[in-house]
């Protein structure tokens, strides 16, 4: 996927993850995009490592893996930030 596709994919995935696991919005639109892109990378890495399913483009399996990765990223960041206070 090219960079524009990753940005659009990240926006969609980040918005879905934000909807499923709401948190106070601190990053706005850019934060949502970054969350989605990083979550897609994390989900693709974990999915490929454990199940042989990676983020390969705009398809259902890629969205599922990317959303799961984004949710993991949200959960870990929330746990880390709340323990730091």
If DSSP codes are grouped into helix, strand and coil, which group holds residue 52? coil
| Mean pLDDT computed over every residue of the chain | 81
Q: Where are the alpha helices (DSSP H) in 1-85?
A: 3-20, 28-51, 60-84
Does the pLDDT at position 26 exceed 70? no
Residue corresponding to tokens 């850019």: 30
Residue 44 has pLDDT above 80, yes or no: yes
Distance CA 4, CA 10 (A): 10
Count of structural domains, the chain: 1
Give the 3-state secondary structure of residue 72: helix
**What pTM value is reported for the model?**
0.80
- Contacts of 76 by beta carbon, 8 Å cutoff, 6+ apart: none
pLDDT at 78: 77
79 lies in which domain range? Answer: 3-84
65 touches 53 (CB < 8 A): yes
**Which pLDDT value is given to residue 62?**
85
């Amino acid at each position: 996927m090219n960079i524009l596709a990753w940005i659009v994919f990240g926006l969609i995935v980040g918005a879905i993850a934000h909807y499923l696991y709401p948190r106070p919005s601190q990053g706005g639109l850019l934060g949502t995009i970054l969350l989605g892109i990083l979550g897609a990378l994390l989900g693709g890495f974990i999915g490929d490592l454990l199940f042989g399913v990676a983020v390969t483009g705009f398809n259902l399996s890629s969205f599922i893996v990317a959303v799961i990765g984004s949710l993991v990223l949200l959960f870990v960041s929330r746990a880390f930030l709340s323990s730091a206070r």
